[in-house]
Structure formats: structure tokens, C-alpha cells
Structure 1
């Protein structure tokens, strides 16, 4: 079935359930369904768009984002996610590359519409999702003439449904094109892995332009409730968990660390939580242990990519918690095991599948894998070589099937002829109680080619005696990993650059050290 078919089934089964809570608004499934169907009507009848048209959504977290994603699917169209932390120039380039035919925008970004219009002559209509605007109709008024159900043609499983740009903040490098079939399988994987039902209560705090939308869509498809917060503030998150009885949420590791650093956590009732899905980057094992101790045995780690959605690999509490309550350290350090709907293996540099304990590239076969990169056949062929999706992540798989991500191919540091993978160094540094977050990179070195450098963000109030702190972190790494992998220098920054989903942007950190060099890692 299509995403929209799952949503309509949930609305039919649970018409009195609250679908979304957004500030003071509580939107029931019947009201939400009217907006979905009205939007589908308006896209077709008002704008004359045909199935396959590309629809951009340019908004912060707002309940209408999820409903517009479902509406585009109901109309047989493709939604294009736009990262709001990008510059307007970058986002205009993203939407131009994606051949967008209509743009839904939030009033927060109304001032950017003239610049977008100048660069997007193909776009037929700009629609403001939350308020009247001089730059286009208000969504509520635009759909008012269409109260009747929208009758969609029969489902086509191979029809495109989602175009997810993969270029981060630097430009529209690629876009992963997903079909109804791959989107459906990702929903099923979320249902099964994170255990959704009609009583689920999702807190949407990570950007709905990225992986977090899979939880809100899965929740809506099961008849559950999503509570939307526009931005992360740890106190507001804790208050909302307690007040709304939140059961599920998705957070990148940096936001988990921020929650753990909030002194209000231990006085907040978080007993309603059933699943805190951590993704976008690996969570440090010591931080995961702390999260389990303070939030309960509810921490799930999920691995996926824009190209194969998520989760294709998952780690559940029962995977890393032993019957006596202690931790299985091997499982804890891993990303988890392949979900039932994916085959995940390790491939060596010759294209041969590796055996247990052998290091290589993580490769995936699954219905969740994208149809391909939009308008980029050569890149699609490269990433799909041999019938596998090549993740560019380096890992090992043990006899029990646990996959440990060593690092990304492009992040590997070659220092004095030795391959050094930053993630294991970062895990050691993150075990220090004064460290909030860190990034380990290779920097130019005349002797070694690259030297290992740690860029560290300390917790508030832990900034004194940085020379001593740097020496302590270096010694911590030497004791745990040996001198080759220990940082040759440690630098402290007040904040680390992050993407729209909270992932540390190592490329931006590297750029500060490699500018003007004859090579760039």
C-alpha cells in the first residue's frame, strides 16, 4: 500500500483519535484527513499538476509538514524535503535540481520567497502553510473548496514518492529517489523495530525534513499521536514527555547528550517512554549506558541512509542488556543487527563478501533501497554495483550478526602509513564526564602526512584548565587505544558545526585546517 493508504486506514479505524498536537492545537484524524484530501484535490484541480510532479516542503517542524507529505503521496506526487538550515541560495539550487513544480513554505520563511521565485521559474505556485501571505495562497483557504474525498488511481508500487536530497549544507549534490514500495517497506521496518501501535505518542523534535519524519508518518499510519516541537530545548522536551506521556522519539546523539546534561532529567517522569531511537551518527557506548540508567531500557540505535531509509540495522535493548541487568559490551559497541527486511553484509575491496571479524564496506540489499539518484545514472550505477547498495561505511560483522561501524571511508585518517578510524577515538573521548561532544579528524602534518586531532566541545562549566584537560584526554586515548591513535593535539570549541539533523559536520571542521593545502584528505 501507499503511505496515504495506511493513513486513510488509520483514520477510518480511529476517527476520534488525536493525530497531532502542535502548540495549542489538537488535530483529530478526521480533520487531518480532510486537509490531506483537500490538498491532493487542489494540487490536481487548482494547479493542474499530474502524478509524478515534485512538491517541495520548506518549513520548520509543524504538523502540516507530515500532512503535506501524505497529501503529495495521495495525489501520486513526489515530496522533496528542504533543510531549513541551508542558505536560501543552496535550497533554491536543491529545488531547481529536483525540478519542483510547487513549493509549500512556512511564514517564517516568507521573506525568502522572492529570491526563490527568481531562481525557480518552473514552480507554478507557492503556498503558505500557516498564514495569509502576499507570496501565495494560505493553505487553509486554498483547500477550502475541496471538502470531498480524493479518489486516487490504483497504486503503482514502482512510482516515485520521495526525493531526499543528500547534499547536506553544501549544495544539491544528489537526491535519493524512493518509490511507494521502498517507502512502504521503511514504514513496516519502523513499525516492527520500534513497536508502534495506536497508543503510541511520538515527540517530533528533530527536523521533519529528514529521518525524524519516518516516526511521525509511522505513528500516523498506525493511528497514534504526534506532538510537535519547533526546535530542541532540553527543558521543553522533558516537560513535554511528562505532560503528554510520550512513548517514542527520534534524536541524534548530540541531542541525547544534551538531555543527559540537563539537571532536570532526574526529577522528570519519563516512565511513559518505550523507544528512544538514536540515529544519524553512532552513540558513544558510555553515553548509551548513562541514557539507559537515567531514561530506562528504552534506547534503540537505528542505522540507515537517505539512500536506503531506516532502519536497515537496529540495536534493541534486549540485544545489549543481559538478564542480570549488565551490558553485553560487544553488542553495546555495535550498531546492531540487520532488520528482518534487509540483508546487510561486509564487502572487501575486491567485491567479495567478508567473513566474521573481517573489515570492509557495509553493503545492503533491501526493498528499502532507493530507485536511484535523481538524474544521475553514473552515480547510481556506482553506488549499486554488483546488486548491492554501497554505504561507504566501514564495518565488521561478528558471528552473532552484530555489525560494528568502524568509520566512513572518507573519514579514515592515514597517519604514517597506519589507517586510523576516528569513531573509536571519539568514543573514548566521549567517555570523559566533562565532554559534551567531539570530532576527530586528520590535519596536515609534514612528517606523518596526517596527524590525529580532536576538536572537543565541553559541557557548560567545564572549561577551566584546558591545557590540563587536553593532556588528560590524550592520555585517556593512549591508555585505551595506544599512542598511534591518540590525538597529537586537542582543540576546544564552544560549539561544533552541525547539520540540519544535528550531525557534526566534519567537513566544515576539516576545512579550517586544510585550506590552502595541496591536497584535502
Structure 2
């Protein structure tokens, strides 16, 4: 059983609502189903099927998104290629998981030309929207193929998605997600966020969280409003224009929304869930978001190996007895989703009591099947029947999970453990700070020195001493940064995570 069925289910329940809206142009469910089936049929006729991997390299685009469903319909595994990566990284990602077919948008044609020679495993290139490089266009590829894909052979255990770890703490790895794991996410989402006629505003790449969030929207016959790029003023306009019910942004983008002049003049009355995730969010900025958008903020926690919906922080969880919750609650990332168990383990593999930080380990039907062609890494992460996330956190007395930080980002300074996220929360609460990243650097006295790189809000400034004076009473002497750097812009991943690894590579302090 393939998740292609989600598109067919959505078509049956759409009641005339469009499948997608892009630049004001609507795509109907009938058009999407017909195109996806023809793509599946063409792929099958070309000799591709179960066990093969196909990628789509494109900005957000209805045809590109539909091509993913065509890949599912052909029983192939879909590889979401990141269009914002540099060409060499794109080629490396495609080669890592043995991509056989590459669909690409004309906006990325020059990139494909640059990396074509380094993709020996790709047997078929298809240009989605315009002729390029002598490759068949999508229209040429599907000519003569009717809306009847090959007979489905995929089972729930077969691979649907081949994701990729970010490589922020090591070499990237291909992550195998089964059809069962995707259906599990859809079911969990609908258990928490099901309502009639949903409209998802996808401003971030559909190759990342927005693409997975689109699956349950499609299953309900809802509409995906797509933006080719995250134009934040336009994002605010579209919420009212399209009566958006659901959207997602990483914290960094939300911070920029909050700083936009006139943001409070927009109509957000249609919003039911404004999902934040992919990185920790400053509590002070979360309070601003709740004040601006209303009681609609919701958080998902997951990782590539156990995706998207490990825990869920409902809008109502941000409040206690009708009042805004305290900072301890607001810093949580929710309770475990249905069918998910969270276990906190110590370094000796013992299970820790509530309130004690340790490694977050998970048992869930969201879990990956394993890493692609990497048995040793799979065995390490899946040992004991649990996903070992590498994240440090604790569960409080009310059952809420709190993320402390990445295990590999722990700073040991003066014999004390300091988690960067705790320092970042305080620095980010300063009124001049747009965002920051905290790392440990070698230090002759401390072993490692807590170091912060700050990006200030436009038109503001703060001195190093002023920032340290702000931090010291809130963090104490050990956790207060020993070095402060001010950069015009922090290095970020395509989904908005501040890249501590990149910060380390770019700065050094004499020992």
C-alpha cells in the first residue's frame, strides 16, 4: 500500500477545493491525480519501480510536488533534493542514495548542467517545465501514457522517502522512511489538527518539513498554497487572502516576521495552527508570537530518523487555567504523540527519572527503517529497539518533553556542563538581539570558553559589555559567555537552523 493513496483520498474529499495555489493560479485535484498517474505510468514503462530512487530538484512548485506523488505511484522511493544547497552538495546527496531518476525545474537547470557529469548513477533526467540540456520535458516524458499507473506492489514496509541527515554533527546519511512511517505521521497529525477545508501555506521548502506537513492536508482534500521563496511581507498577506488555517516556519523566520513594521495590522483570524519547530525557539519571542497571532502557536519535535511528530505542543498547552503559561512550560516541546514513547537515558544506559536531563530515546511507528547502506550507523542509533536521538532533554512532572541541547554540542567549562541552548535563550531575550549561536572554544583556563555570536536586529546595537552585564545575573558566572562576536548574519541551514558547526569553522580564539 503506497502513500500515493493519500492523493486519491484527497481528490474524493476535496469538494471542489483546489489541490494547490501558486502565484494566484489554481491546480485542481483532478489535474494533480491525472498528472501523477501519467508520471507513474511513464516511470514504470521506462523500467523503474520498487527499490529505485527518484529525486525532484525544484523550488516550491505544484508540478514538482505532483511529480513526487508520481514517484510514489510508480512504487519508487522519493528523494527530496534541497534546491538551496550548493551544486556539489546536491550531487553528493543524490549519489549518496543512488538516485536513478532526476526531475528538475528550469530554475535549477544551470545547476543540473554543472553536476550532470558527476551523477553517473542517474539514468534519466526529466525537465519539469522547459527544455534543457537535451533532456525530455515532462510533457514529452508522459506523452501517450494514460491515467493508469502500473499495478501497485509497494507494501507498508517498503521505503517511501529517502531523507538525509543534515551533516551538522558528522557525515550525512540517507534515512529510509517506510510508507507505514508516513501514514503514521498523517494519522497523528489528524488526531490533533483535523478540521474541515484545511489550507496550508508552504513558505519553506516542500523538500523539508513543509512537504511532510502537506501530506495530511492532501489526505483531507485541503489546499496547499505555495510560495517559491519565503517573502515574509507576502506571507502575511497570503494568510488573509487565502484564509490559511495552517502554516509552518522555523523560529528564525518567525523572529523576522515579528520585527516587520505593520505586522500587527494583518488579519490572522483564519489561522488555527501556526507550527514552529526545526530548532529551539526563544521563550520571549514565543510570547511575542502568541500576542501577535493569537492562541494558535503549536510546536512539533522530531528528527530525520524519527520524523516530524514525536511530540506535539498544542496551542492550548501554552496556557494554564486560561492564562499564559510560565517560562518553564513555554520552553517545552510538547507531550509524546499517540503511539510514541519517550525514554530519557543516562550515559550508563539507565532510565532517568522525571526532571533529570539525559539522551532522548524514542519508540515510535514514525521511526526510520535504517540508514541507507550503513548497517553500523543503523545499529548504533537503533540499539535496544529505541531511536537514540543524540538530543539531551528531560520530561517534567506533567509529561512535557524539554529539549536541552544536542549531546555533541555540550560545552564543558571549568568542570561544569553548559548547554548552548540555555545560554541562547537568555541572549535571545535581549531586546536588540535577532538571533545568536553559542559554542565552546578551547581555553587554557576553562578548558572550553562559552562563546556567543550575535546577530542584532536591524537598526539596533548593543556593546559586548552591555550584553555580558545582561547575561550574568540571569546565567551566573560559569554560563555567561567569555567571548562575544557580532556578525551581520549568522550561518543557517536551509530550514533556518543556526549552524554551530559553521560558526566554529569561522572563528577561533587563542588558547
For 1:122, what is the secondary structure of its paired residue?
Answer: coil
Tell whether the 8 Å contact from 2:433 to 2:455 is kept in structure 1 after alignment: yes
My pick for the range that moved more, 222-231 or 208-217, is 208-217
Is the counterpart of residue 34 in structure 1 residue 28 in structure 2?
no
Counterpart CA distance in 2 for 1:222 and 1:40 is 22
- 1: distance between equivalents of 2:272 and 2:128? 32
Displacement of 1:169 in angstroms is 7.8
TM-score (norm 2): 0.96
Maintained 8 Å contact 2:73/2:152: no
1:350 maps to which residue?
348
The residue aligned with 2:173 is 174
After superposition, residues 75-154 of structure 1 pair within 5 angstroms as: 75-154=74-153
Per-residue deviation at 1:12? Answer: 2.2
Residues of 2 paired with 1:475 and 1:13: CA distance? 58
User: Which stretch has the larger CA shift, 340-349 or 470-479?
Assistant: 470-479
**Counterpart secondary structure, 2:146:** coil
Distance apart, 1:414 and its partner CA: 0.8
User: Are the counterparts in 2 of residues 56 and 81 from structure 1 also a CA contact under 8 Å?
Assistant: yes
Coordinate RMSD, CA, aligned: 1.8
Deviating more after overlay: 363-372 vs 83-92: 83-92
Task: List alignment gaps of at least 5 residues for structure 1.
Answer: none
Unmatched tracts of structure 2, length 5 or more? none
| Distance (whole Å) between structure 2 residues aligned to residue 392 and residue 171 of structure 1 | 12
Deviations 1:33-63 (A, max 9, x none): 1111011011111x21121210011111112
Q: Compared with structure 1, are the counterparts of its residues 15 and 132 closer, same or farther at alpha carbon in structure 2 (3 Å cutoff)?
A: farther
Report the Cα distance in structure 2 between the residues aligned to 1:131 and 1:197, rounded to whole angstroms. Answer: 38
C-alpha contact (below 8 Å) 1:97/1:172 kept by paired residues: no
Range that drifts further, 56-65 or 24-33: 56-65
Deviations 1:187-218 (A, max 9, x none): 2222223x134411101111111111111222
Paired residue secondary structure (2:83):
coil
Instruction: Please state how far the C-alpha of 1:514 moved relative to its aligned partner.
Output: 4.7
Alignment map for 1:225-264 (pairs within 5 Å): 225-264=223-262
Paired positions, count:
511
The equivalent residue for 2:57 is 58
How far apart are residue 378 of structure 1 and its match? 0.1
Contact 2:44 2:150 in 1 (8 A): no
CA offsets 1:144-163 (integer angstroms, 9 cap, x no match): 42232325325411111110
The match for 2:467 is 473
Partner of 1:25: 25
What is the rounded CA distance, in whole Å, between the counterparts of 2:138 and 2:509 in structure 1?
46
Residues 1:87 and 1:64: Cα distance change in structure 2 (over 3 Å): same
Q: Deviations over 1:428-454 (max 9, x none)?
A: 111112111111111221211211111
**In the superposition, relative to structure 1, how do residues 80 and 515 fare at CA in structure 2: closer, same or farther (>3 Å)?**
farther
1:506 equivalent among 494, 500, 508: 500
2:324 to 322, 326, 331: 326
CA contact (8 A) 1:38 1:147 kept: yes
Quick one: distance in 1 between partners of 2:17 and 2:55?
29
| Aligned pairs (5 A) from 1:191-340 | 191-193=190-192, 195-340=193-338
Which piece of structure 1 moves more, 375-384 or 142-151? 142-151
CA distance in 2, matches of 1:370, 1:185: 12
2:389 — aligned with what?
391
Task: Give, in whole Å, the separation in 1 of the partners of 2:194 and 2:28.
Answer: 18
C-alpha separation in 2, matches of 1:154 and 1:94: 27
User: Deviation of residue 267 (structure 1)?
Assistant: 0.6
Once the two structures are overlaid, the 10-residue window that deviates more, 152-161 or 345-354, is 152-161
Conserved 8 A contact 1:313-1:339: yes
Report if the CA contact (8 A) 2:441-2:451 is conserved: yes
Secondary structure of 1:245's aligned partner: coil
Q: TM-score, normalised by structure 1?
A: 0.95
